[in-house]
């Protein structure tokens, strides 16, 4: 929640690099660290969000969440080795794909956003072949190669692709991939370390570009 409130504040300040440790900060500390002159405004905004949630009550969420200690699914073992692991993961779709896939049975396929026709067709073919060999194809749901990787894996069958995104799992980005977003949610899974309700910023893409979740 706090991250969603300060994200635009960080972006407006011209931040380009990944802020070290930012995703693990408690809400109040996050605002103190990056709020600057807007600390009071951001704290007030956070209080409004928390109050609204209390009024709404604990409605059922369509998403699954987990941290390394507990949660709705098993924490991916490879993230235990990361020097700055996610604080929490949220999944929309089949969460077993990020924790239940055997080691060596997941393939990350990413590339240029402005790919040419040959690159796009090759990516789709490779993803289809990988899915046919029993692998889960992991990509980032961006333009170009990422899009074709997801489409190629889905063309083989369901349960063959994972999208690691830079915003919340309830935020469709890019908008032109809205249909693909829905297809991956239904037949695979979308995963993020960003809170639901969070959009995307320049720094959130480098933040997600760590090792794939298996």
pLDDT tens for 38-84 read 788 877 877 766 655 544 444 456 888 888 777 888 888 778 777 77
Closest CA to 19 of 194, 206, 200: 206
pLDDT tens for 128-175 read 999 999 999 999 999 999 999 999 999 988 878 999 999 999 999 999
Q: Indicate the pairing of strand 189-192 with strand 89-93.
A: antiparallel
Residues 198 and 167: beta-carbon distance below 8 Å: yes
Look at the pTM and tell me if it is higher than 0.85.
Answer: no
| CATH 3.40.50.450 in the chain, residue ranges | 62-214
Q: Which fold has domain 62-214?
A: Rossmann fold (3.40.50)
Mean pLDDT, the chain, integer:
80
Q: What pLDDT, on the 0 to 100 scale, is given for residue 57?
A: 44
Range scoring the smallest mean pLDDT among 22-31, 107-116, 123-132: 22-31
Tokens of 165: 């995104």
Alpha-carbon gap, residue 140 to 166, rounded angstroms:
8
Q: What pLDDT, on the 0 to 100 scale, is given for residue 212?
A: 45
Q: Which residue shows structure tokens 């699914």?
A: 73
Most confident region among 129-133, 198-202, 203-207 by mean pLDDT: 129-133
Tokens of 20: 């070290």
Question: Measured in Å, how far apart are the chain's first and last C-alpha atoms?
Answer: 27
Distances (CA, A) of 76 to 30, 89, 103, 214: 26, 10, 10, 6
- DSSP type of residue 171: S
């Amino acid at each position: 929640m706090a991250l969603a409130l300060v994200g635009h504040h960080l972006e407006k300040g011209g931040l380009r690099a990944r802020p070290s440790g930012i995703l693990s900060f408690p809400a109040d500390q996050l605002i103190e660290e990056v709020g600057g002159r807007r600390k009071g405004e951001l704290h007030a905004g956070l209080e409004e969000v928390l109050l609204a949630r209390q009024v709404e009550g604990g409605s059922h969420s369509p998403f699954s969440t987990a941290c390394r200690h507990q949660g709705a699914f098993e924490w991916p073992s490879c993230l235990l080795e990361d020097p700055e692991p996610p604080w929490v993961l949220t999944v929309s779709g089949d969460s077993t794909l990020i924790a239940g896939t055997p080691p060596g049975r997941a393939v990350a396929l990413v590339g240029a956003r402005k790919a040419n026709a040959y690159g796009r067709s090759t990516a789709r073919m490779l993803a289809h072949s990988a899915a046919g060999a029993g692998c889960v194809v992991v990509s980032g749901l961006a333009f170009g190669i990422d899009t074709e990787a997801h489409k190629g894996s889905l063309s083989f069958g369901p349960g063959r692709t994972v999208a690691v995104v830079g915003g919340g799992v309830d935020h469709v980005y890019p908008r032109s991939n809205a249909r693909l977003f829905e297809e991956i949610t239904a037949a695979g899974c979308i995963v993020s370390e960003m809170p639901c309700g969070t959009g995307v910023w320049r720094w959130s893409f480098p933040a997600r570009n760590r090792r794939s979740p298996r």
